[in-house]
């Protein structure tokens, strides 16, 4: 059974909610009507029942869910979706294209699935978005039919995107354990390949590597399974450049060769030099060992810390732990970006919403260094860096005697740990564990377990939270621990106050009210043209803004977008404000208000204040609606504090 995104969000809220909440509460949380909540609840209720949860409704009180039965994990669980459902049909089409290397026609697929050609066309739009993200693979259609085309290296990236879709899909509220993920992959790659790759990789980790975040292990395992599957089918990596003697490739070639030699013996396969080098690039980019230290990385890390400190007006320079963490993270990050190796950040949606100002500030700051580093940053990588800096902000507040179960790695678990200190008293000891370590731990001395995934231990109180700890998670932890709720921040939903950081950069000629733009691109190009004509930005600013949008949308669920470009291409700091008459589709959401952030290099230290003011306006639907009701003069004078039109 599949849920649409809105229903997935409702299910997630219900799972995290302790106690009863009204339909109105959930409607406000999701910015939808109460009628829609009632409708979606019927679907979500059936879905949760399959997962062992029962929805309880009490008139006048609200809705809650409770665990009704423990769902046993069956080793031979049937994981296949009904091919006549939308998700099942799309997976079957991908199987025909990727795994069976077929050329298909709309007529054939229409007959196979008993649906219209327009539905098949929509399926291909989805498949194109899924399989061609971050690679050069093309979906080619001609008189023969439709098929996938691209170099072997790029095709393997398409397989990787499919694997992520299988194991990290948006409806995957209950994160699959390793056994379930293995079963999912076995359906497509075969039991022998999946098991051999799993054993060889984990054997290598135990003997040769210290601590690696589990999502990095998952990246390499997925890539290794794909590589072996393709080699077995007679396809090898081609066209890689010969590495230089001191190149990072050589540093990891020995490890890659040892693992592929073991796989070769067990599966009777032969790997080429290019196959070995390709695996070595993934070992580097996924931090499987520290890269050789180079002076240039020390300079880059120090410069980034200094710049972020100045811009956010927070002293990170003395934080030695932050520097050590970034020295481990940034070299492989630069390597990933240069080599085009996609690393999925599973929590990017939450990072963007929980730490919006920090996330966008870091992106704007680092965009200045793209030319020097010869990279283009994407939202996944900026999200990882956001976690490190957010951890540094809260690191001084250490907490004790709490077990955090988090499969995502040290930085995320540390951030989770430090944020918990804001709501609970100090504990006597601290322990952080991965899922596999929990069973081996003595939990007798642990007062509270906080986990980012479902655990089957029924003898201990477990609070399941999102990895970045939302306000609702904070309430749940507080209730579970039965202590006074001390530090939860209350957010004001009142009137918009004067925004003194923003007001100096609002100019009458760049506040556009009641416009009639039809698309995102039309709006960005036209406003960019007007900014260029006024010598606010250069030609390249519009291009950098469009590129930024392609790498991750700046739209918010409230109905606003905050696009921004590279400060190198800004001559004068201005915030251009556009209120459109009608909503336009941006990326994930439809928006009506757009605030284009143009920050010059000389004003980069003002970015935190500017973005903080902007997010005061757009963080909630109520405030945004209030702002949209202003006249142009009110925006510039009475409400925001700018004196441009006063008098």
285 and 300 share one domain: no
Confidence of residue 354 (pLDDT cuts 50, 70, 90): low
The answer to the question of residue 410 being in a domain is yes
The answer to the question of residue 543 being in a domain is yes
426 and 452 share one domain: yes
- Alpha carbons 392 and 415: distance in angstroms, whole number: 8
Q: Which of 374, 394, 414 is the last residue of a domain?
A: 394
510 and 631 share one domain: yes
The answer to the question of residue 413 being in a domain is yes
Sheet with 560-561, side-by-side order of all strands? 511-515, 574-585, 590-598, 560-561
Q: Tell me: pLDDT of 491 over 60.
A: no
603 and 576 share one domain: yes
Q: Cβ(405)–Cβ(448) under 8 Å?
A: no
Q: Tell me: pLDDT of 85 over 50.
A: yes
Higher pLDDT, 458 or 288: 288
Does the global pTM surpass 0.85? no
Residues of the chain above pLDDT 90, percent: 27
What was the pLDDT predicted at 392? 81
| Residue 34 Cα distances to 28, 58, 118, 223, angstroms | 9, 16, 32, 44
The answer to the question of residue 489 being in a domain is no
Helix, strand, coil shares of the chain, percent, nearest 5, are: 55, 10, 35
Two structure tokens written together for 310: 């100045």
Closest CA to 157 of 182, 132, 126, 124: 132
Q: Which ranges constitute the DSSP H helices of 233-285?
A: 248-267, 273-285
Q: Which of 67, 92, 120 is the last residue of a domain?
A: 67
Mapping DSSP to helix (H, G, I), strand (E, B) and coil, where does residue 142 land? strand
The domain that holds 465 is classified in CATH as 3.40.50.2300
Q: State the total domains in the chain.
A: 6
Confidence of residue 435 (pLDDT cuts 50, 70, 90): confident
Q: Can you name the residues that pair with 580 across neighbouring β-strands? A: 515
245 and 165 share one domain: no
Higher pLDDT, 159 or 172: 159
266 and 238 share one domain: yes
Structural domain range at position 462: 402-481
307 and 378 share one domain: yes
Mapping DSSP to helix (H, G, I), strand (E, B) and coil, where does residue 64 land? strand
235 and 334 share one domain: no
The per-residue DSSP string of 380-438 comes to HHHHHHHHHHHHHHHTTS---SEEEE-TT-HHHHHHHHHHHTTTS---S-EEEE-HHHH
Mean pLDDT, range 272-299, rounded to an integer: 77
512 and 627 share one domain: yes
- Alpha carbons 267 and 261: distance in angstroms, whole number: 10
The answer to the question of residue 251 being in a domain is yes
260 and 230 share one domain: yes
Higher pLDDT, 271 or 389: 271
Q: What angle, 0 to 180 degrees and rounded to 10, lies between the N-to-C axes of helices 356-367 and 295-312?
A: 130
Closest CA to 188 of 152, 229, 137: 229
Residue 409: exposure state from Cβ atoms within 10 A (0-12, 13-18, ≥19): buried
Rg (CA), the chain: 26
Q: What is the dihedral of CA 81, 82, 84, 88, to 10 degrees?
A: 10
Closest CA to 12 of 46, 62, 58, 48: 48
Q: Can you name the residues that pair with 66 across neighbouring β-strands? A: 54
Give residues with Cβ within 8 angstroms of 131, minimum separation 6. Answer: 94, 97, 98, 137, 139, 148, 158, 161, 162
The answer to the question of residue 606 being in a domain is yes
Q: What angle, 0 to 180 degrees and rounded to 10, lies between the N-to-C axes of helices 178-189 and 152-168?
A: 140
The domain that holds 18 is classified in CATH as 1.10.10.10
Mean pLDDT, range 56-63, rounded to an integer: 85
- Alpha carbons 457 and 438: distance in angstroms, whole number: 9
What was the pLDDT predicted at 605? 85
Q: Tell me: pLDDT of 42 over 70.
A: yes
Q: Which of 289, 310, 335 is the last residue of a domain?
A: 289
- Alpha carbons 129 and 559: distance in angstroms, whole number: 23
Q: Cβ(199)–Cβ(221) under 8 Å?
A: no
384 and 457 share one domain: no
Question: Each residue of 408-423: pLDDT tens digit?
Answer: 555 666 677 666 655 6
Give residues with Cβ within 8 angstroms of 17, minimum separation 6. Answer: 64, 65, 472, 476
412 and 476 share one domain: yes
- Alpha carbons 588 and 481: distance in angstroms, whole number: 37
Two structure tokens written together for 436: 């596999």
Q: Tell me: pLDDT of 572 over 90.
A: yes
The answer to the question of residue 490 being in a domain is no
What was the pLDDT predicted at 312? 81
Residues of the chain above pLDDT 70, percent: 77
The answer to the question of residue 238 being in a domain is yes
The domain that holds 320 is classified in CATH as 1.10.1790
């Amino acid at each position: 059974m599949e849920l649409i995104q809105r229903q997935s969000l409702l299910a997630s809220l219900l799972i995290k909610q302790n106690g009863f909440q009204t339909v109105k509460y959930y409607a406000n949380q999701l910015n939808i009507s109460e009628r829609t909540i009632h409708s979606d609840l019927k679907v979500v209720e059936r879905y949760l029942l399959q997962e062992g949860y029962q929805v309880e409704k009490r008139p006048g009180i609200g809705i809650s869910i409770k665990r009704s039965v423990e769902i046993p994990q069956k080793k031979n669980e049937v994981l296949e979706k009904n091919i006549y459902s939308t998700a099942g049909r799309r997976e079957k089409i991908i199987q025909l294209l990727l795994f069976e290397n077929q050329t298909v026609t709309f007529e054939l697929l229409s007959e196979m699935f008993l649906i219209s050609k327009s539905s098949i066309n929509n399926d291909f739009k989805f498949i194109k978005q899924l399989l061609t993200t971050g690679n050069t693979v093309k979906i080619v259609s001609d008189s023969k039919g439709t098929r996938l085309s691209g170099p072997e290296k790029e095709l393997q990236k398409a397989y990787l995107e499919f694997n992520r879709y299988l194991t990290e899909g948006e409806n995957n509220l209950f994160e699959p354990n390793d056994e379930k993920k293995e079963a999912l992959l076995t359906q497509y790659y075969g039991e022998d390949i999946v098991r051999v790759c799993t054993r060889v990789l984990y054997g290598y980790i135990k003997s040769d590597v210290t601590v690696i975040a589990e999502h990095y292990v998952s990246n390499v395992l997925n890539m290794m399974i794909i590589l072996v599957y393709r080699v077995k089918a007679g396809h090898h990596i081609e066209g890689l450049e010969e590495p230089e003697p001191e190149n990072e490739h050589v540093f990891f070639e020995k490890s890659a060769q040892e693992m592929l030699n073991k796989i070769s013996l067990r599966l009777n396969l032969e790997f080429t030099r290019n196959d070995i080098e390709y695996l070595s690039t993934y070992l580097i980019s996924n931090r499987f060992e520290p890269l050789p230290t180079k002076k240039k990385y020390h300079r880059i890390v120090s410069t980034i810390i200094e710049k972020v400190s100045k811009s956010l007006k927070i002293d990170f320079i003395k934080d030695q732990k932050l520097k050590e963490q970034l020295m481990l993270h940034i070299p492989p990050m630069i390597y990933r970006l240069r080599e085009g190796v996609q690393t999925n950040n599973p929590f990017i949606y939450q990072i963007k919403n929980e730490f919006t100002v920090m996330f966008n500030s870091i992106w704007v700051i680092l965009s200045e260094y793209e030319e020097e580093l010869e990279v283009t940053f994407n939202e996944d990588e900026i999200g990882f860096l956001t976690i490190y800096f957010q951890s540094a902000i809260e690191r001084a507040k250490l907490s004790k005697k709490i077990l955090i179960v988090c499969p995502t790695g040290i930085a995320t678990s540390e951030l989770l740990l430090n944020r918990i200190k804001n709501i609970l008293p100090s504990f006597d000891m601290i322990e952080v564990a991965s899922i596999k370590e929990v069973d081996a731990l003595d939990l007798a001395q642990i007062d509270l377990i906080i986990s980012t995934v479902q655990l089957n231990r029924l003898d201990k109180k477990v609070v399941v939270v999102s990895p970045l700890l939302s306000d609702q998670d904070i309430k749940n932890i507080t209730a579970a621990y039965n202590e006074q709720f001390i530090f939860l921040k209350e957010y004001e939903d009142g009137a918009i106050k004067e925004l003194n950081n923003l007001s100096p950069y609002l100019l009458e000629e760049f506040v556009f009210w009641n416009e009639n733009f039809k698309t995102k691109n039309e709006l960005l190009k036209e406003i960019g043209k007007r900014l260029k004509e006024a010598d606010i930005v250069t030609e390249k600013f519009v291009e950098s803004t469009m590129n930024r949008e392609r790498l991750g949308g700046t739209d918010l669920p409230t109905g606003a977008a905050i696009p921004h470009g590279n400060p190198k291409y800004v001559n004068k700091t201005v915030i251009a404000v556009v209120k459109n008459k009608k909503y336009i589709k941006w990326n994930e959401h439809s928006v009506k208000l757009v605030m284009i952030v143009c920050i010059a290099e000389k004003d980069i230290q003002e970015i935190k204040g500017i973005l903080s003011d902007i997010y005061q306006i757009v963080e909630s639907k109520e405030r945004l609606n209030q702002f949209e009701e202003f006249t142009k003069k009110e925006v510039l004078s009475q409400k925001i504090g700018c004196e441009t039109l006063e008098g």
